[in-house]
Amino acid sequence: MAEINLTTLAMVHAPPDEVRAAIADYREVRPKILPRQFSDYQVLDGGDGAGSRVRWTLKPTRWGRRDTREWEILAEESGDGLVERDTRSDVEITWTVLPGPDERSVVQVTLSWPGADGFAGLRERSRAGRLRRVYGEVLHALRERLGRAATRPASPASPASPASPASPAGPTPTAEPTPTAEPTPSAEAAPPAGEAERK
């Protein structure tokens, strides 16, 4: 029986500690980065990192009722991230966060489970790619959420302008045109999902 491994990568514009904290936040951050394929999301216990128990329903495709099922995961700490073990199957979801350039982070999500043999195994692996695409969307949403938070500058309070002295009589000078603000650069597109690895 060969193990199936699906891996997805993304570069996130936030330091590793901030990314790990966001991934471990099952009450505020996680429900906001899950795409439409997830439903019935519920925190059963905890909600912050290791020891949390969370339940959801995942339907990888709009028409695939056979692939729709309920997950109930138990979160455990890992060296560089978090491991989520599905208590109803052998699936493990490993989140790994590593330092990247310029105070950014490389986030990797790997789903792994023992694959079936023969024709059933081939069919299972063909369906597995749908899960990788779903978690690619999760990483993209995480990247967008943390990227906006990291690049949004605080607006300092403007100091009060001192009163202007009375100007002498004479023609009023023409005001110079106000420079137009430069457009804000848009967020970079999420990098493509990584290829599945098969052991």
Identify the pLDDT of residue 190: 41
The answer to the question of residue 164 being in a domain is no
Q: Is 83 contained in some domain?
A: yes
Segment 23-73, tens digit of pLDDT: 999 999 999 999 999 999 999 999 999 999 999 999 987 655 556 889 999
Residue position matching structure tokens 């979801």: 93
**pLDDT at residue 88 in the model:** 92
Over the stretch 115-170, which tens digit does the pLDDT of each residue have? 766 655 666 666 778 889 999 999 999 999 998 655 444 444 444 444 444 444 44
Q: Model-level pTM?
A: 0.70
Which range marks the domain in which residue 103 is found?
Answer: 3-151+193-198
pLDDT in tens, 5-32: 999 999 999 999 999 999 999 999 999 9
* 23, 142 contact by CB (below 8 A): yes
Q: Determine how many CB atoms are found less than 10 A away from the CB of residue 18.
A: 16
Question: How high is the pLDDT of residue 152?
Answer: 42
Residue at 182 is within a domain: no
Q: What is the pLDDT of residue 102?
A: 92
Strands 69-78 and 81-86: antiparallel
Long-range contacts of 117-121 (CB under 8 A, 24+ apart): 117/1, 117/2, 121/1, 121/2
**Domain-embedded: residue 179:** no
pLDDT in the model for residue 198: 41
**Looking at the 3D structure of the chain, how many domains does it have?**
1
The CATH code of the domain that includes 74 is: 3.30.530.20
Q: Specify if 40 maps to a domain.
A: yes
Does a structural domain hold residue 139?
yes
